[in-house]
Amino acid sequence: MSARPERDEQPLVEDRLGERARVYGSERAILVSLVLPQNRNADSLRELESLADTAGIPTLACMTQSRLRPDPRYFVGKGKVEEIKAAASEVGADVIIFDGELTPGQGRNLEETIGAKVIDRTQLIMDIFAQRAATKEAMLQVELAQLRYLLPRLRGWGEALSSFGAGIGTRGPGETKLESDRQKIRHRIHAIETRLKKVESERALQRKRRTQGSTPQVALVGYTNSGKSTLLNALCGTTALVEDKLFATLSTAVRRGSLGEGRLALFIDTVGFIRALPHHLIPAFAATLEAVREADLILHLVDLGSPAPEDEYRAVLETLEQEVFIDEGPRPPILDVLNKIDLGGPAENLAESFSAAAAISAKEGLGVESLLSRIRAILYPNDALVVLSVPYAASALVHQLTGEGRATVKGYTGDGVEIQATLSPEELERLKRAGARVSLSA
């Protein structure tokens, strides 16, 4: 958890958007949602509360207002602002979190009127990323997103800017400090961009090595907290972090797993998506987006235990369309995977509407073997089980197949080794060129 800066420390920018741009575990919040005609998602405020909980901020109250459009000055109406001010005073709230993206002017007007710190949904998500980023690249990407978001929102220090020199040629100390802070941020942005270019080239090299291998890649995508890491553990027998929090996984994890019948795949756990993902954070998803684009198969995990699984399903598809598959190139096939069928009730009813989907419980292991069979059928559609007589001169190929668990030795003859194997047409032809003869189909 991030610690609040000491009062005698001088933050990079003025307190409202330096220390005040973050949320801290000692703070308590009021959540505010603006309901517009084109966005009447009843679960949006519930999701904002989950985000606040993930950031370690308890929610004291939730407030909503229905409008045809956001108020240009306050986002919500002036009367609602007064209600928020009174509620904050009554319950002792430290921060007001708005379920939307505020303009710099709206944020300033709200803070000055309410007299409390105001942040928006984008800032909250960025703060969660900052708290949970584990890799150096993720930390740099999040810091870059925060600085880019902060730069146009810089204001002067207190009243210094208005108290000193407002006219041409009369730059007061407040204005000088503001320009100095802007320059510091621009330099830091440039330094981070330079470092990230080096990290990106290193990641591209690792990705090239992985894609050049013969093992197919399966990307796990889905709404945040849909159970991707739990499924990764179930498929690969690993112990990836599993936590009932939004954005528990902020970096891609690659694990090798068996598909059965001697076939293997690389399973890639990715960062969870969310509705209206802040554009400033798209670069922080770079590794996830690349993994999805270059996968041989995408497993789209749908959380049947969510209050709005259909909305989350559409949100993921929209993100894939807008951020991943932005060109007309070939796309990997997508297999919908409905998770948490063990919950029963509404989950079972929803599963019936996804007739082509695989239904599982990653936590309980239900349906996982069936899912593996479907993955194997998609990745290896032309596999056939055959019995071969392989000459001793090609015993290295036999050793490779048996080592991979894709062949068993049935016996030995004067001409060679008789094996039973699951092979693709290309692999069968390679063995034939090495002198193998098909005895019969298994």
pLDDT given for residue 24 in this prediction = 67
Residue 134 has pLDDT above 90, yes or no: no
Q: Give the model's pLDDT for residue 350.
A: 64
pLDDT at 69: 92
The pLDDT of residue 10 is above 50: no
Query: What is the pLDDT, as a whole number, of residue 250?
Result: 54
Average pLDDT in the 163-175 region? 40
What are the structure tokens assigned to 336, written together?
Answer: 């919908």
Name which of 120, 103, 149, 99 is nearest 283 in CA terms. 149
User: In this predicted model, which residue has the larger pLDDT, 211 or 224?
Assistant: 224
pLDDT at res. 262: 79
Where is average pLDDT lowest: 33-42, 213-222, 391-400?
Answer: 33-42
- The residues, ordered by sequence, that sit 6+ positions from 300 with a Cβ below 8 Å of its Cβ are 221, 222, 313, 316, 317, 334, 335, 336, 337
For the cut 60, the answer to whether the pLDDT of residue 120 exceeds it is yes
At 374 the pLDDT is 94
Domains, the chain, with CATH or none: 15-133 (3.40.50.11060), 214-379 (3.40.50.300), 384-441 (3.30.70.240)
Give the range among 96-105, 173-182, 193-202 with minimum mean pLDDT: 173-182
Is-contact 259 372, C-beta < 8 A? yes
What does the alpha-carbon distance between residue 148 and residue 156 come to, in Å, rounded to a whole number? 18
The confidence band for 169, taking pLDDT boundaries of 50, 70 and 90, is: very low
Residue 383: count other Cβ atoms within 10 Å of its Cβ: 20
- Asked if residue 41 has pLDDT above 60, the reply is no
- CB distance 275 to 310 below 8 Å: no
Indicate the pLDDT class of residue 12, thresholds 50, 70 and 90: very low
User: What digits encode the pLDDT tens for the residues 263-305?
Assistant: 889 999 888 888 877 776 776 666 677 788 889 999 999 998 8
Residue 352 — very low, low, confident or very high, per pLDDT cuts 50/70/90? low
Q: Are 160 and 180 in contact (CB under 8 A)?
A: no
The CB density around residue 130, as the number of other CB atoms within 10 Å, is 17
pLDDT at 308 over 90: no
Q: What is the pLDDT of residue 166?
A: 39
Distance CA 90, CA 432 (A): 82
> How would you write the chain as a 3-class SS string?
CCCCCCCCCCCCCCHHHCHHHCCCCCCCEEEEEEEECCECCCCHHHHHHHHHHHCCCCEEEEEEEECCCCECCCECCHHHHHHHHHHHHHHCCCEEEECCCCCHHHHHHHHHHHCCEEEEHHHHHHHHHHHHCCCHHHHHHHHHHHHHHHHHHCCCCCCHHHHCCCCCCCCCHHHHHHHHHHHHHHHHHHHHHHHHHHHHHHHHHHHHHHHHCCCCEEEEEEECCCCHHHHHHHHHCCCCCCCCCCCCCCCCEEEEEEEECCEEEEEEECCCECCCCCHHHHHHHHHHHHHHHCCCEEEEEEECCCCCHHHHHHHHHHHHHHHHCCCCCCCCCEEEEEECHHHCCHHHHHHHHCCCCEECECCCCECHHHHHHHHHHHHCCCCEEEEEEEEHHHHHHHHHHHHCCCEEEEEECCCEEEEEEEECHHHHHHHHHCCCEEEEEC
In the prediction, which pLDDT does 206 show?
66
Residue predicted with more confidence, 384 or 286: 384
Closest C-alpha among 209, 243, 238 to residue 226: 243
Model confidence at 255: pLDDT above 70: yes
pLDDT at position 87 = 95
Residue 80: predicted pLDDT? 96
Instruction: Determine the pLDDT at residue 170.
Output: 35
pLDDT the model gives residue 290 = 79
Amino acid at position 347, single letter: A
* Mean pLDDT, rounded, for 82-105: 92
Q: Is the pLDDT of residue 130 over 70?
A: yes
- pLDDT bracket for residue 13 (50, 70, 90): very low
Q: Compute the average pLDDT of residues 185-206.
A: 82
Separation between Cα atoms, residue 35 and residue 148, nearest integer Å: 28
Chain-wide mean pLDDT for the chain?
A: 80
> Tell me, what's the pLDDT at 244?
52
pLDDT over threshold 70, residue 6: no
pLDDT at residue 8 tops 70: no
What is the model's pLDDT at position 54? 86
Q: What is the mean pLDDT of residues 45-49?
A: 88
* Both structure tokens of 97: 């979190």
Average pLDDT score over residue span 178-199: 84
pLDDT at 354 over 90: no
Mean pLDDT of 347-365: 77
Is residue 4 very low, low, confident or very high in pLDDT (cuts 50, 70, 90)? very low
Residue 71 has pLDDT above 70, yes or no: yes
pTM exceeds 0.95: no
Rounded average pLDDT over 302-318: 87
- Which of 278-282, 371-375, 424-428 is least confident? 278-282
Q: Using H for helix, E for strand and C for coil, what is the string for 379-424?
A: HCCCCEEEEEEEEHHHHHHHHHHHHCCCEEEEEECCCEEEEEEEEC
CA pair distance 207, 339, nearest whole angstrom: 29
Rounded CA separation 197/178 (Å)? 29
